[in-house]
Structure 1
């Protein structure tokens, strides 16, 4: 009996141990699941909105929703290149919080409808001061404590509404500056056309800021509500104190409000919504998106929206710094283009008439096309195919409304900024990747219009910037002639870019089965040859009589005054992404071509010229990663049979020019282009030629990358033997099939393939 009891007890203990073990395993699994959920839920911890706000990154730290119409951020700098976003990390003053900003551009605009809380009396406009230790920027949230006023300010946003929460921690009079006339880049010609401020009641104000700057005719209607009643202390119209009234209008209007009922440490909340159409639209935007006063809910909703957006790419690595740079870059790539319509679908078109958008064809603005066709839009064709289709269709709609494809559309305005007709690159790439729902015939019509020379289309317009969409450059290109440097500036940059754009048009014509146009534009795509000087090995300016421009110095730059845009001959010689073989042939052999590339990356980084372009930054030799014309060049080594040099350079660029600091973007962010370059290359590949749906393997930073596709499939990249030292590709597989070349097609992404890249510490000629 004793023995059986021991057996029974032993059996019971064993059962208990098994149950405990099962419970432990189940707990561990649940814990692992929880950790995975936490990891996913905490992607926002890897986003630092301050990255890019230092040096010349020109980003802003304030809250914004993905592609949101409203960007609420502090304005710390009003004029100059580093005021392009209204903010620079080195500053310690805040002029106020305005509701529209550009992310990383080289030209400034916006900064509409500014608010600044302050206390006490003032003879001049108040300016707040602050310490960096008292400033916080997170996804969907910004906060700061002022030094010179006992005020804490917090900001959050929906797509079209900004919500402010101010805490006045003293018994001093609690006041607010509401500045409709506030301008960024006044010294660059940004000015007010008309301001209007209308007091509806003691908790509601509405109005209009109509300005003229980079956007020639820009209207921002606003609607503001206050959680506590205000008293209008003073309105100033065109520098004069205005008599008491319900409505104030002029070219420069601002007002001081006070809040007598607000007690010490109570919070004042303010909601401000904007509209490109009218004040009714602004009011409807607020009533629809933010009918209540729940600041914390707005912040949490923004976090949820952003967390969902960032799930577009999931990376695995033990390097926390790389995670921070990567997800901040992905965040920056999802700010522009920006939605540009009211919640009811009304928007202001390129003809400045009011139109109605359909649910499947929303209207957008802020297309930095010359920058973003290179990496941002190719990235989005992978992670957001629907929006990519919307953008192409929206560009075509702008053509229908305004007679031209835009170069850099801003707030329903043509700006004619940068070079050539880059919209055709976006269109060609979307069609090459078989994005659905694009009118191919309309795409070809719009592209041909951009590439034609029909000066009569713009001779009656009073908008000089719209005239820039039909430039004299087109005349020479239409005749298959070089653009003469002694007749027109920027000749080489325009000549090279337009050769590529004409190749894109040939691809659009191919999609339309128009063989005759394919032939015409393939021939025009060879026009880059006009600028190649075999003696020096550079693309050079040539005069109308066929002579080379002399003297010639490939390191010389003169911003906006020379044959090269934002660069020099060293940087521009390589812009032939559509015909690398043809470029190699101009040098005579791959060996000579590679030697020239070697010299690009090893020669002195000195840029010569008294007016050298400030855009030339991020130098390795004369390679300038801080500006877009260089972004594809490292991959030319792969095309010349030396892929290890591509891998080594990409590794260097990823590590040296992108860091988790305010100075962590080496040049203008340019509406997501700099960041998208990092995202693509950190995953391990890059598209050298938008319009050709082929990617080249580079140097993956992460052990594993997963991109969940809308089809339910997952595109996966696995880097074996990956480490900081193992930066060279040894072998490359697609779905376990070894590949002979380090390239793959977009179809492999759509199919949900698995790429396996085996890494090592020694170069290998793949």
Structure 2
């Protein structure tokens, strides 16, 4: 969901101020080691830590951005795999959280989303000062140096230079722990400016409880200008009795004197400034204060129970060691060996970012807040997930998770079904329990369909089907918080989205809808729903109605059937979402065989070759855009057009130029793991243009050996990928063997992987234009089937 300034959607323009993506300077940075970025913290902590585990190869600073104008916006802080708590530094007041180029830290907050394109979250904000307590932000924000900053999975450290306070963060699934080390001779203060979030705080409350606790809630707006709100409850527990404490209540721009006698403060309207502080007298030695913070989206009792269950009685080092161990276990599901140190770091950092979201929303006791704003109980042994960046992650992040985290994906699919059951509709981009309606299509239908077709069946497919069918065939009712597919009344009558009725992305709307229809067609077949399958098959071909047979581009069309005149396929945003006609001419992922034939194979290959003929990566109207999801599948489309060696060439180029081991090491917004997962899959040698087809296109791996450890319910135990020596310098496939047999097709099935087995590549320095190039070697397309 990266958005260029020229073509932002209305909701983005009003909120972001937007980042213009760089178009220069990337090639020279490619595959260079990380220098002066704050050394990644590799020191182990406790007996559970693995000194040589894959967590040691992760660099959390990748994707945090290098300079003003960059759109990289990942957070480097402490988090568990898919954790509710994402405890991280904030270098800005309202925005995306942390940017590497910003030189002051405001403080640390408990919630973030990984690399999304709008201001978001940042609730339960804490920081530390020395001396007299001041509630003015100018007195508690601090300069910092990357030379005195470290990060590793589950751990973050920085020295706040203004007052020489060292801050360390770690986390469990639903709690965070901060350890502040204060200098000798000065009073030590922990401030909780609870009104401070990264978005628009609409209400808050904080209370000082006893002699070592604070509790309360924060109410914040959903991201991207959505006016729905949600609450997060918190309990903060210090490791020793507080010397003095109090609260404040005022406005941010004026000094607010803290009141030691005030035990509570309430923000009842936006724009107010409340908080609390705890202070300890000066000591003649350094003193350390540790605070444990439990959070819950359900209620205060949930936050307290999460804290008790996951953190009570545990030291900072114990929790840090447990987090490192958890990350080593999660990352070890894929073992890569024999590659360069840089590629190994890039790979495991990408895998790490692929395992951050969707986020766990259910409390440790299984309670969660539903889309009906009622408290529900998840089934024992399961988790409720939220924050699905649907338009982004259906392409590669969720297919990757389906392969390596099948049980979690089943729970994620069940979470989608519960969204429909409790809220009445399936959203495109749900945040917490709010419908945001961000982006286009029905991406969660693709995700759920793919999960079921992959063999993941431990969720309520009947409820999910009802919700997906409704979304695919009916307009959403008026007056509801959900939107449904845009232009549905026109889709049902004209079988496309007319530009004079729905101006925003009319062409790409139906293209995105069509991939959902194709996924539902395949799912209906698998469920034995013959009539429904025929309906969805027909709808899956609606995208053809915006393909102009004269110029052979997808083009905006009016309700009377006329093509919008003066069409320029290079122009951004005219009928297309975050892209141009050149970008979207490649977007028929479920039916590439038809598109190749309709355009003509020679012209298709000429245009696609020209699409990658740019000097340096950038956001150009006529070239491949590595910074956004609009054409992530395009490098693999040569596999459909008889030139798979070109896929091998351009995939290697995109990886080299856009995924260095540096702060700008992710192109554009990571969008909750989507851009990272593209790199992870590509580096292993496969990608799926249409995940629900279960076909995975092949390209050349960058590692001599990859071992994927499979889990139930899959039949296999491991799937191994091997290459001939020196794969980094031999990008072209000369031959493939699958389970010992010669394999001429340029794709394999998901079941080939999930059943376990061995995929072997022979690679060379020059293209082999015979392997995988015959028409029968191409991946399947929906129009080649019969409903």
Is the contact between residue 169 and residue 265 of structure 1 (CA under 8 Å) also seen in structure 2? Answer: yes
Match of 2:267 in 1: 250
Match of 1:722 in 2: 726
For residue 484 of structure 1, the aligned residue among 485, 498, 520 is 498
Is the contact between residue 188 and residue 282 of structure 2 (CA under 8 Å) also seen in structure 1? Answer: no
Distance 1:227 1:669, change over 3 A: same
Structure 1 CA distance for aligned equivalents of residues 284 and 700 of structure 2:
58
Give the C-alpha shift of residue 440 in structure 1: 3.5
Give the C-alpha shift of residue 725 in structure 1: 2.7
Give the C-alpha shift of residue 749 in structure 1: 1.1
Match of 1:59 in 2: 74
Q: Using the TM superposition, name which of 364-373 and 205-214 deviates more.
A: 205-214
Is the contact between residue 365 and residue 411 of structure 1 (CA under 8 Å) also seen in structure 2? Answer: yes
Structure 2 CA distance for aligned equivalents of residues 140 and 201 of structure 1:
30
Q: Aligned pairs, how many?
A: 700
Distance 1:40 1:132, change over 3 A: closer
Query: TM-score normalized by structure 2?
Result: 0.86
For residue 762 of structure 2, the aligned residue among 758, 762, 765 is 758
Is the contact between residue 582 and residue 621 of structure 2 (CA under 8 Å) also seen in structure 1? Answer: no
Is the contact between residue 495 and residue 527 of structure 1 (CA under 8 Å) also seen in structure 2? Answer: yes
Structure 2 CA distance for aligned equivalents of residues 408 and 222 of structure 1:
25
For residue 324 of structure 1, the aligned residue among 345, 358, 362 is 345
Cα deviation, 1:165-184, whole Å, max 9, x if unaligned, reads: 11111312222221110121
Match of 1:9 in 2: none
Cα deviation, 1:362-392, whole Å, max 9, x if unaligned, reads: 1111111110011011111111111111111
* 1:593 to 2:597 alignment: no
Structure 1 CA distance for aligned equivalents of residues 135 and 682 of structure 2:
53
For residue 470 of structure 2, the aligned residue among 431, 449, 470 is 449
Structure 2 CA distance for aligned equivalents of residues 300 and 52 of structure 1:
25
Q: How does 1:187-586 map to 2 (within 5 A)?
A: 190-214=199-223, 216-230=228-242, 231-238=244-251, 244-251=261-268, 252=272, 253-260=274-281, 264-455=285-476, 457=477, 459-461=478-480, 463=481, 466=482, 468-469=483-484, 471=486, 473-488=487-502, 489-558=504-573, 562-586=574-598
Find the residue that maps to 1:724 and give its secondary structure. helix
Match of 1:632 in 2: 633
Distance 1:620 1:495, change over 3 A: closer
Match of 1:745 in 2: 749
Give the C-alpha shift of residue 238 in structure 1: 4.6
Unmatched runs of 5 consecutive residues or more in structure 1: 1-36, 185-189, 606-615
Structure 2 CA distance for aligned equivalents of residues 722 and 618 of structure 1:
33
Is the contact between residue 117 and residue 166 of structure 1 (CA under 8 Å) also seen in structure 2? Answer: yes
Match of 1:26 in 2: none
Is the contact between residue 702 and residue 719 of structure 1 (CA under 8 Å) also seen in structure 2? Answer: yes
Find the residue that maps to 2:497 and give its secondary structure. coil
Cα deviation, 1:84-123, whole Å, max 9, x if unaligned, reads: 2x00000111111000001011112110011110112447
Distance 1:440 1:284, change over 3 A: closer
Give the C-alpha shift of residue 712 in structure 1: 6.3
Structure 1 CA distance for aligned equivalents of residues 284 and 413 of structure 2:
52
Is the contact between residue 602 and residue 620 of structure 1 (CA under 8 Å) also seen in structure 2? Answer: no
Give the C-alpha shift of residue 763 in structure 1: 0.7
Find the residue that maps to 2:123 and give its secondary structure. coil
Distance 1:298 1:617, change over 3 A: farther
Is the contact between residue 120 and residue 175 of structure 1 (CA under 8 Å) also seen in structure 2? Answer: yes
Find the residue that maps to 2:682 and give its secondary structure. helix
Q: Using the TM superposition, name which of 749-758 and 259-268 deviates more.
A: 259-268
Structure 2 CA distance for aligned equivalents of residues 635 and 747 of structure 1:
20
Structure 2 CA distance for aligned equivalents of residues 700 and 39 of structure 1:
27
Is the contact between residue 722 and residue 760 of structure 1 (CA under 8 Å) also seen in structure 2? Answer: no
Structure 2 CA distance for aligned equivalents of residues 520 and 498 of structure 1:
14
Structure 1 CA distance for aligned equivalents of residues 515 and 530 of structure 2:
18
Is the contact between residue 417 and residue 461 of structure 2 (CA under 8 Å) also seen in structure 1? Answer: no
Is the contact between residue 709 and residue 752 of structure 1 (CA under 8 Å) also seen in structure 2? Answer: yes
Structure 2 CA distance for aligned equivalents of residues 136 and 199 of structure 1:
32
Give the C-alpha shift of residue 590 in structure 1: 1.3
Cα deviation, 1:269-300, whole Å, max 9, x if unaligned, reads: 11111011111111111111111251011111
Distance 1:438 1:269, change over 3 A: closer
Q: Using the TM superposition, name which of 385-394 and 440-449 deviates more.
A: 440-449
Structure 1 CA distance for aligned equivalents of residues 455 and 71 of structure 2:
37
* 1:92 to 2:92 alignment: no
Distance 1:263 1:256, change over 3 A: farther
Is the contact between residue 618 and residue 667 of structure 1 (CA under 8 Å) also seen in structure 2? Answer: no
Give the C-alpha shift of residue 349 in structure 1: 0.6
Structure 2 CA distance for aligned equivalents of residues 657 and 213 of structure 1:
30
Q: Using the TM superposition, name which of 366-375 and 254-263 deviates more.
A: 254-263
Structure 2 CA distance for aligned equivalents of residues 283 and 234 of structure 1:
21
Structure 2 CA distance for aligned equivalents of residues 618 and 267 of structure 1:
48
Cα deviation, 1:32-72, whole Å, max 9, x if unaligned, reads: xxxxx999843222100000001322100001000110000
Structure 2 CA distance for aligned equivalents of residues 398 and 532 of structure 1:
35
Find the residue that maps to 2:762 and give its secondary structure. strand
Across the aligned residues of Structure 1 and Structure 2, the Cα RMSD in angstroms comes to 2.0
Match of 1:147 in 2: 161
Is the contact between residue 618 and residue 666 of structure 1 (CA under 8 Å) also seen in structure 2? Answer: no
Give the C-alpha shift of residue 310 in structure 1: 0.6
Higher gyration radius (CA): 1
Structure 2 CA distance for aligned equivalents of residues 400 and 625 of structure 1:
37
Give the C-alpha shift of residue 552 in structure 1: 2.2
Structure 2 CA distance for aligned equivalents of residues 572 and 425 of structure 1:
19
For residue 136 of structure 1, the aligned residue among 150, 157, 160 is 150
Give the C-alpha shift of residue 233 in structure 1: 4.7
Give the C-alpha shift of residue 132 in structure 1: 1.3
Q: Using the TM superposition, name which of 753-762 and 254-263 deviates more.
A: 254-263
For CA contacts below 8 A with separation 6 or more, give which structure has more relative contact order: 2
Structure 1 CA distance for aligned equivalents of residues 445 and 566 of structure 2:
35
Query: TM-score normalized by structure 1?
Result: 0.88
Is the contact between residue 700 and residue 761 of structure 2 (CA under 8 Å) also seen in structure 1? Answer: no
Is the contact between residue 74 and residue 98 of structure 1 (CA under 8 Å) also seen in structure 2? Answer: yes
Is the contact between residue 617 and residue 667 of structure 1 (CA under 8 Å) also seen in structure 2? Answer: no
Is the contact between residue 726 and residue 760 of structure 1 (CA under 8 Å) also seen in structure 2? Answer: yes
Give the C-alpha shift of residue 644 in structure 1: 0.4
Unmatched runs of 5 consecutive residues or more in structure 2: 1-47, 772-787
